[in-house]
Amino acid sequence: MILILLGPPGAGKGTQAKILMDRLGIVQISTGDILRDAVRKGTPLGLKAKDYMDRGDLVPDEVMIGIIEERVGQKDCERGFLLDGFPRTIPQAEALDALFAKTGKAIDAVVTLTAKEEELVKRLLSRAEAEGRSDDNPESIRTRLQVFREKTQPLIDYYRSRGKLVEVDGLGTVEEVAERIKEALGN
């Protein structure tokens, strides 16, 4: 099974991705986690990505597409995987379609978590206190929400028009949202 989780920052993608991964027995590929790990280790990728991430901007498409091409080709992805945080732009979605066409794979569903912007800001600010992520500051949060509206929101129509979109209300407890996703996916 190949799933994509789409949603604005703070919608609970990472949390729901982990629940789905356990339930479906597939691996979670979080591009945010891959990048944060690279920054922590000071690899060339990390050095390249850090400034974009701290500002709340997107890391360039070609860098992200390269990461995904390499990652989904690994053995643990054979049984399926869940993409959390990728694609985030139309060029990334097109590159993914091209990659899957080449490798004979297909997306089963794109789950999008919806939430009001004021709720997202509240969640991100409280996560900043709990986790201390360097991009959870008010300025970066503003940029990330704007980037989502401009660059990522168009993907909702992209996948809707391809019959892949499953919309789920992201408001409520973690368990409530997990249950809604389960129902929406029909398993």
Q: Which residues of the shown chain bind ligand AMP in the complex (CB under 6 A)?
A: 9, 31-32, 35, 52-53, 56-59, 64, 85-86, 88, 92, 135, 144
Between 35 and 113, whose beta carbon lies closer to ligand AMP? Answer: 35
> Cα–Cα distance between 73 and 96 in angstroms, integer?
12
75 catalytic per annotation: no
Bridge partners of residue 27, in order along the sequence: 81
40 catalytic per annotation: no
127 catalytic per annotation: yes
55 catalytic per annotation: no
Nearest by Cα to 108 from 48, 30, 41, 187: 187
Of 13, 36, 123, 180, which one is the catalytic site residue?
13
Between 99 and 179, whose beta carbon lies closer to ligand AMP? Answer: 99
Nearest by Cα to 3 from 164, 161, 169, 144: 164
In the complex, least distance from residue 59 CB atom to ligand AMP, rounded to whole angstroms: 4
Burial 167-177, CB ≥16 within 10 A → b, else e: bbebeeeeeeb
In the complex, least distance from residue 179 CB atom to ligand AMP, rounded to whole angstroms: 23
Between 127 and 179, whose beta carbon lies closer to ligand AMP? Answer: 127
Of 36, 88, 123, 180, which one is the catalytic site residue?
88
> Residue 112 corresponds to which amino acid?
T
> Cα–Cα distance between 55 and 167 in angstroms, integer?
29
Of 133, 160, 164, 182, which one is the catalytic site residue?
133
> Cα–Cα distance between 162 and 99 in angstroms, integer?
17
Between 64 and 110, whose beta carbon lies closer to ligand AMP? Answer: 64
Report the catalytic residues: 13, 88, 127, 133, 144
